[in-house]
Amino acid sequence: MDAEDRPKHMMPHDDELDSATAELLRRVYARHIDIDTAARHLWVIDAAARTARQARHTMRGARGRGRRAVVSLMMSLMLIGSSGMAVAASDGTLPGDSLYGVKRSTERIKLVLAVRADADAQMQLDIARQRWAEAQRAARDRPEVVSSLLRDTFQALDAAEANGGVIARHAHALRLVVAEGSTELALGQRDRRGRPEADARRGPSASSAGTPPTSPPADGTDGEGEPPAAATDEEETAAAAPPPPPRESTSPPPPATSTSPASTETSTAEVDADPDEENVDETSEEESAGPDGGDGTEKKPGPGTDPDDGDEGVSKESLDPHGNRSPEPEPSPSPSSPEPQ
Amino acid sequence: MPFSEKVAEGVRAGDPDAVGTVYVVLADRLLGYLMARVRDRATAEDLLEATFLELLQRGRTIRGGPAAIKVWLFRAAHFNALDHMRKVRRRAEDLCEDPHSLEVVDTGPGPEERAVSGDVSRRVRAAMKQLSDDQRQVLLLRYVGGLTAPETADVLSKTDGAVRSLQHRGERGLAHLLENEHGTAASSPQAETS
């Protein structure tokens, strides 16, 4: 069972489940076995099997063997009390040795950890997608909660990216989508599907060819682009797309200071935007703190901005909104960016 | 399938390695389900251990592959939890005490709980308690245990149709209860802020 399949196997059949209920109940009731408990349970299973085997041998009349089996079981029981010793002592054991079960249990525990890391990361990615979908809906109906939803989105993405691997790549791709899309939310754009409209509003630089979707919007533009559609599709495309060449700057410039037509547009848009300017500011800051930087050209308006998310193929580390490092294996422009080439 | 047919054969043969593999795959979900039933983490872990020991000892009686083993495990967990709750109630009756006072509720936040506000958790649990037993069981098996509707029907000895109906009613009931609760909370002076 490879790691990529494992999270799916652990998911229920979602076609008949209500997603809101699913998330709520999983968040409240989902549990993970801690490592000590798993070790104890696996050892008990092994010990019970050994005991049963030895009992069968004993019943066949091998009394000497039975006595030895009992002694070895007692030794195992004493040793398991200090599990570190037991694990170390079991290292060189072979099948038939009294501590061989400990060795196999240790291997299964490592498997539990590997499985769990993937499951945790997958759950966090699912939560991030859910928060992002909520943020987009809230932008229309309840703008005052958008910034907190975006904060939660980035937090979940941090957790999803923590262990690397395939899930981290998907999370990174989603981060780029969110970073770009959240700028639109901040500007109060309601029409996320009108890529040409968005471009028209932003100005010529927005539609210049080659600017990668999530990557740094062109000069003076705020991350516009195609409204994040199905996150999964975007993530996959973003993850699969090759990093675009370094080009224009990527981060949304501070609206007030930019002089390009797009910036002007931005400023104008801001005036029309969400009346809750604090949220807008917070969003902008969060965004700039996220890996929405592009080719490393520093135009990050906010503090804690990360060097970049490697849109341009440069392996860079990105900082999350909390300023923590999040190494990104690959930059992946999301197709969400509308660049109509 | 949660695990391979080869592992299922090993379980039926009483192979502890195969049982251990099934543990790795299903323990988290089973623990979540058991904790939702008995609320006490230590008890849930003990019941989980007992369930897997039963699988080791009685696996050879299971007819079928991985899906059958998964259903068998959840059914065993369901009945182990039921037995435990009956014992608690009997003990409480003997002592003339409130059964709930005999349970040590797991209040220590694990990593998962830290991600969920305690208030949200409390509200959801309170709402779940107001559903019927059957509705609650179905929701826990489907959403926490990760079982399909047919698998849930097998565990609870009900028809597929009955399970789907219970599920939908449970979902609607839960949403309604939480909405009312939220409305009440929002109008109170100490409305929770996220």
Q: Is B35 exposed, middle or buried (0-12, 13-18, 19+ CB in 10 A)?
A: buried
Task: Look up tokens 């549990």; give the residue.
Answer: A31
Contact yes or no for A108 and B24 at CB 8 A: yes
pLDDT, tens digit (0-9, with 9 covering 90-100), for B25-39? 999 999 999 999 998
Q: Residue A189: which region, alpha, beta or left (left: phi > 0; alpha: psi -120 to 50)? A: beta
pLDDT, tens digit (0-9, with 9 covering 90-100), for A9-37? 444 444 578 888 888 898 888 888 888 88
Q: State the sign of the Cα–Cα–Cα–Cα dihedral A168, A171, A177, A183.
A: negative
pLDDT, tens digit (0-9, with 9 covering 90-100), for A227-279? 444 445 555 555 555 554 444 444 444 444 444 444 444 444 343 434 444 44
A126 CB neighbour count, 10 Å cutoff: 19
User: What chain A residue is nearest to B39 in terms of C-alpha separation?
Assistant: A29
Mean pLDDT, to the nearest integer, of B93-117? 55
The partner residues of A319 in beta bridges, in order of sequence, read A325
Whether the per-residue pLDDT at A292 is higher than 50: the answer is no
**pLDDT, averaged across chain A:** 61
Mean pLDDT, to the nearest integer, of B180-191? 58
Contact yes or no for B45 and A1 at CB 8 A: no
Residue B95 C-alpha, separation from nearest chain A C-alpha, in angstroms = 30
Residue A206 C-alpha, separation from nearest chain B C-alpha, in angstroms = 36
User: Residue A96 and residue A99: Cα distance in Å, rounded?
Assistant: 8
Residue A49 C-alpha, separation from nearest chain B C-alpha, in angstroms = 6
Contact yes or no for B49 and A41 at CB 8 A: yes
Q: How confident is the model at residue B100 (pLDDT cuts 50, 70, 90)?
A: low
DSSP structure class, residue A228:
P
| The pLDDT value given to residue A301 | 41
Of A178, A205, A159, whose CA–CA distance to A290 is shortest?
Answer: A178
- Chain A residues with CB inside 8 Å of B4's CB? 1
A171 or A223: which leads in pLDDT: A171
Structure tokens at B177: 């209860």
- Chain B residues with CB inside 8 Å of A40's CB? 49
Task: Look up tokens 């000892």; give the residue.
Answer: B57
Q: How confident is the model at residue A80 (pLDDT cuts 50, 70, 90)?
A: very low
Of B111, B116, B50, whose CA–CA distance to A32 is shortest?
Answer: B111
Q: B122 CB contacts (<8 Å, ≥6 apart)?
A: none
Contact yes or no for B124 and A108 at CB 8 A: no
3-state secondary structure B47-99: HHHHHHHHHHHHHHHCCCCHHHHHHHHHHHHHHHHHHHHHHHHHHHHHHCCCH
Q: How confident is the model at residue A56 (pLDDT cuts 50, 70, 90)?
A: confident
Helices (H), chain A: 5-9, 19-29, 35-59, 63-80, 83-89, 100-141, 146-161, 165-187, 195-202, 231-240, 261-272, 277-289
Residue A31 C-alpha, separation from nearest chain B C-alpha, in angstroms = 5
Contact yes or no for A9 and B115 at CB 8 A: no
| The pLDDT value given to residue B29 | 93
Q: How confident is the model at residue A310 (pLDDT cuts 50, 70, 90)?
A: very low
Task: Look up tokens 């019941």; give the residue.
Answer: B47
Mean pLDDT, to the nearest integer, of B48-60? 95
Q: How confident is the model at residue A188 (pLDDT cuts 50, 70, 90)?
A: low
Contact yes or no for A30 and B144 at CB 8 A: yes
| The pLDDT value given to residue A184 | 78
- Chain B residues with CB inside 8 Å of A119's CB? 28
**ipTM of this predicted complex?**
0.82
Whole-model pTM: value is 0.50
| The pLDDT value given to residue A334 | 46
User: What chain A residue is nearest to B15 in terms of C-alpha separation?
Assistant: A49
The per-residue b/e assignment along A318-332, b for 16 or more CB within 10 angstroms, e otherwise, is bbbbeeeebebebbb
Residue B121 C-alpha, separation from nearest chain A C-alpha, in angstroms = 5
- Name the residue among B112, B120, B148 with its Cβ closest to that of A32: B112
Of A126-140, B74-88, B121-135, B137-151, the one with minimum mean pLDDT is: A126-140
| The pLDDT value given to residue A209 | 44
Mean pLDDT, to the nearest integer, of A65-71? 49
Is the separation of the CB atoms in B142 and B173 below 8 Å?
Answer: no
Whether the per-residue pLDDT at B158 is higher than 70: the answer is yes
Contact yes or no for B48 and A41 at CB 8 A: yes
pLDDT, tens digit (0-9, with 9 covering 90-100), for A101-156? 666 666 666 666 666 667 778 888 888 898 898 888 888 888 888 888 898 899 88
Structure tokens at A186: 């901040």
SS3 at position A159: helix
| The pLDDT value given to residue A183 | 83
- Chain A residues with CB inside 8 Å of B115's CB? 27
